[in-house]
Structure 1
Amino acid sequence: MTVESTPARTPRRSAGSKAGTTGTKRTTRTTKKSTEPALVQLLTPEGKRVKNAEYDQYVADITAEELRGLYRDMVLTRRFDAEATSLQRQGELGLWASLLGQEAAQIGSGRALRDDDYVFPTYREHGVAWCRGVDPTNLLGMFRGVNNGGWDPNSNNFHLYTIVIGSQTLHATGYAMGVAKDGADSAVIAYFGDGASSQGDVAEAFTFSAVYNAPVVFFCQNNQWAISEPTEKQSRVPLYQRAQGYGFPGVRVDGNDVLASLAVTKWALERARAGEGPTLIEAFTYRMGAHTTSDDPTRYRGDEERQAWEAKDPILRLRRYLESKKYADDTFFEELESESEALGRRVREAVRAMPDPDSFAVFENVYADGHALVDEERAQFAAYQASFADADGGK
């Protein structure tokens, strides 16, 4: 059974581990196959539908139209993400955190939500924002430095992006405790990454959610790398098994499988709404690009690793399934391509129409009554900025 509800023995380290030595001898390592944790998968990388006794019921009535909708969601989200990356490279954005490769985890879980459920994202949940009806252009103001969010969280039940690593899990837990106190039957979901799983805030959120039986789903997108640190530096056991120690279920899902992500998240949300408490979902996926546009992943991982995951591309596998079942034809894909390009143009035009960020805003609101050091730094920065005008002849 995939869902862990009783403590399990700590598995031995896989062949790729760097830990696990005793004295001067290395411990015997088992093969990857023998230590591979259970993984919920409904759609293989080749686009083949596979059965799962526990989770099939949550997507049993999905229609061809809904499957095309999931495909459209992923394609348009990827197109938006690619445009944002290009805009950052052109100097239009200060930074961008790409979701490339994680579309299935985000779209699958995002489409499992009801309108009255509430979402606490990190800074990479562009696909979930899409599912919640947040206009993509509203995500970009913060990355351009012209606002602190860009949308009303209560309009879409989608909180502002959280930059502080892991803190949103505590916010989600407190909000979920309030939902339970109010007697509502909605649920809360908190997104975070494998790196954030090592933060104390996440551990505290697990503790409080379990003790108070909060209706919250913790959705960890394990994309293998916390910037340059691999997952094996975050945990001695698969991340989903951490839930056992706090007294609630954990499950690992194929995060590149949109159907499995949809089904498992539906199950977890229904548990929460029924008063059965929290769930930890580990969406096992892969960050195809850089952590952010300030990162160079070639310094810490090889091309062969990315190539292996490209074969598991979430969009490609659903397209293969749609084509094999004749649920989509060439006209559908061509029209979607045109819609995708139109979205890219709209995003590009919207960003270029935004004002330039105020370079001196960083010095404001640091101290309530001002500070001599901040004043000095502001003056130094002003002189630095003026030096460019002087070098250009005052233009």
Structure 2
Amino acid sequence: MVKILKSQQGTTRFGTKKQISILFFISIFCLIAFLLAIANGSYQISFTELFAGSGQNIQQIVITEIRLPRVLLSCLVGASLGMSGAVLQGLFRNPLADPGLIGVSAGAALGASIAIVITPAFIAESSLGVFVLPISGVLGASFVIALLFALTKGFGYQGITYLLLVGIAVNAIVGVAIGVLTYISTDSELRTLTFWTMGSFGGINWSLLIPASIVITLSIFLLIPTSRQLDLVQLGEIEAYRLGVDVKKLKVRIILCCASCVGASVALSGMIGFVGLIVPHLARLIGGVSHRYLLPASALLGACIMVSADLLARVIIQPAELPIGLITSAIGSPFFLWLIFKMKKNDY
């Protein structure tokens, strides 16, 4: 907490001048990654054609109908997972917290898995089939949130501790349910289920992207103003309450916003691990622990990392592509181990 108080001396709305500079450079890197992701893939498009708009009709279709919605979704998913991880780590005062900790990601995964196994014909044949998977994911996440609030109601300021315990139980139960669905699924359903649980941005279109982008963007903008309250929560819930923070309302706001953006993200992209865990720590290592800097930095870094990971997934074995979850896990696992050793050595 002393680090937070020191970092807030002479700060602006988004942190110190140094932190503002860091946010600016992260934004530049994010823009570069965005342009590289638009131009590169199994079908190459030069930057001259990209900026001049002088390409052939097929190139314009590839950009506007395939790559642009895909890259925009990867930005939104990365930003939502990164910011959700930073907010939840601040709320729970747990450096290992991430959006999957309280079971929201698992709930969305279960909803989508049920849709894949129970309604495969409707998804494949109906004109509304493309909406079944994201709607099922959001419903699954919403069900988990309702369950969390019902089971932790009445615990008062100890509710966050019980929320973590319930989240662990929910993750275990959902794992069993997905295992059963995997066992009873056909070969084609199993392939779809396996690829989806590894994460992918393939198959996204504007009709799916627009409503998801509204939910994710609105949730992110509602989370940003919680930065000062999260700094005070680091003193403890009781002390934060004495300093004027309505911890109960803050918890409700954060959990609902995280559920909305993570549920929408998981429903469209599948399970993508480690982003919500490693991005906030990377942002802290670069620029400090104050949440007024940490939240936007986590969103920008998450977007940058996710776009870069998706680009790697598309170009490593082109024209085929790797599941995005494999790339993020390959990057995140070593970082996670390093983080554990750092916590042990330095009492992080």
The answer to whether the superposition gives a TM-score over 0.5 is no
Q: Which has the higher strand share?
A: 1
TM-score, normalising length: structure 2: 0.29
TM-score, normalising length: structure 1: 0.26
Which structure has the larger Rg over C-alpha atoms? 1
